[in-house]
Structure 1
Amino acid sequence: MEIILKTDIVGLGYKNDVVVVKPGYARNYLIPQGFAQLATASNRKVLAENLKQAAHKAEKIKNEALAIAEAIGDMVITIAMKTGESGRIFGRVTNTQVSDALKEKGFEIDRKKIALEDIKNIGDYTATVDLHKEVKHKVAIKVVAEE
């Protein structure tokens, strides 16, 4: 079943994308929650017109995302965690901690737009920040022992 997404959904697509999903997923979850609408001929025409009108606005948003990515650059975020004797940390580093660390540096990035690998030890890691549909930026993370 083809649907038009009204919001970004991780693992499925971005706003205004036409995607194919199973009918039950669309009827029972996406459409009732307001995340999508059926991709009928009339809805496709409305989408095409909206995309045409929003093209310059989308370019501005993309340029802002590129500017943020350039400003972040090769920044290294240091996160202090409690550790055991073997260098393993208690708990794990979460995307909320990365988001808060970026906020301290002046970058307001939603935690849902940050993808992390599973961090359980002290060391250097990378996180991927999804700033825009076409702009993804890698941020270096250094996990150190809390003193």
Structure 2
Amino acid sequence: MNTGMEDLYREVILDHYRAPRNKGSLEHADASCHLHNPLCGDDITLALAVEGDVIRDARFVGQGCSISQASASMMTEAIKGKTVAEARELIDRFSRLMRGEIAPGEADLGDLEALSGVSRFPVRVKCALLAWEALDKDLAQLTRPAPGG
């Protein structure tokens, strides 16, 4: 990756870290999940509001490194207005990007591709994926049958 692109990606990450989008609690969430990475201290609670099959709102509360917080901010932006199936597809593509299985240009993830450089640092991949793991758990809550039903 050229230096100009790395600088641009770094700026996108820092922008989302310094001014996170969708940070805060979400009243009347349809699904919520709290995850903590004990290795580095990253912490996130992700809440979703869903109408039908569409993610109407997504908010997170947490603390941690710039990568984990920027990833959560960027993810919430990316999933709003998407269907549950589209969100699952995003989880798959982003996870594959983080594992180095697909190149940034092939991932078709927009600004999320700014995090592609993290794949070169295996210890930091968990930071980038924490919010996405919470999203996966939230989506599982939405599709799980109601108790007693």
Answer 1 or 2: higher relative contact order, Cα 8 Å, separation at least 6: 2
Structure 1 or 2: more helix by fraction: 2
Q: TM-score range by the shorter chain?
A: under 0.3
Compute the TM-score of the two structures, normalised by the length of structure 1: 0.22
Structure 1 or 2: more strand by fraction: 1
Larger radius of gyration: 1
Compute the TM-score of the two structures, normalised by the length of structure 2: 0.22
